Amino acid sequence: MQKVRITLYGTLAKITGEKTVEVNGSTLKEAISQLTVKYGEQFGNKIYDEKGNLRRFVNIYVNSKDIRFLNHLNTELNDEDKVSIIPAVGGG
C-alpha cells in the first residue's frame, strides 16, 4: 500500500475539518474509499452521485495532473503522491 497525501478544497475541507489527509491506497479509488470510510456518508455523497459515479464537478488531480488525462479513478498511486480534490472548477 502506498502512502499518499490528499488535499481537499472548498466544502470538502469543511466537512472533514482537515485540509490535508494522509491515506494508504494503491489506486485513487482505494485512497478515496478510505476517506469515505473515515468521514462517512456525508463526504461520500459529495464525491459520488446516486449511481456511484464520480460527480461531474468534482475535479481530481494526481501530482497536479487531471485524472481524466490519467486513468481516472483507476489511476495507480505511488508513495508520496499528492492528490488534490477540488470541487467546482469552472473556468473561461
CB of 1 to another protein, least distance (A): 27
Nearer to another protein, 26 or 45 (CB): 45
Nearer to another protein, 2 or 13 (CB): 13
Distance (Å, whole) CA 21 – CA 88: 20
Catalogue the long-range contacts made by 16-22 (C-beta closer than 8 Å, 24 or more residues apart): 16/43
SS3 29: helix
Distance (Å, whole) CA 82 – CA 33: 16
Binding map of another protein across residues 33-72, x = CB under 8 A, - = no contact: -------------x--x-----xxxxx-x--x-x-xx---
Is the sign of the CA dihedral 79, 52, 13, 70 positive or negative? positive
User: Does 18 interact with another protein (rule: CB under 8 A)?
Assistant: no
- Interaction site with another protein (CB under 8 A): 9-11, 13-15, 46, 49, 55-59, 61, 64, 66, 68-69, 84, 86-92
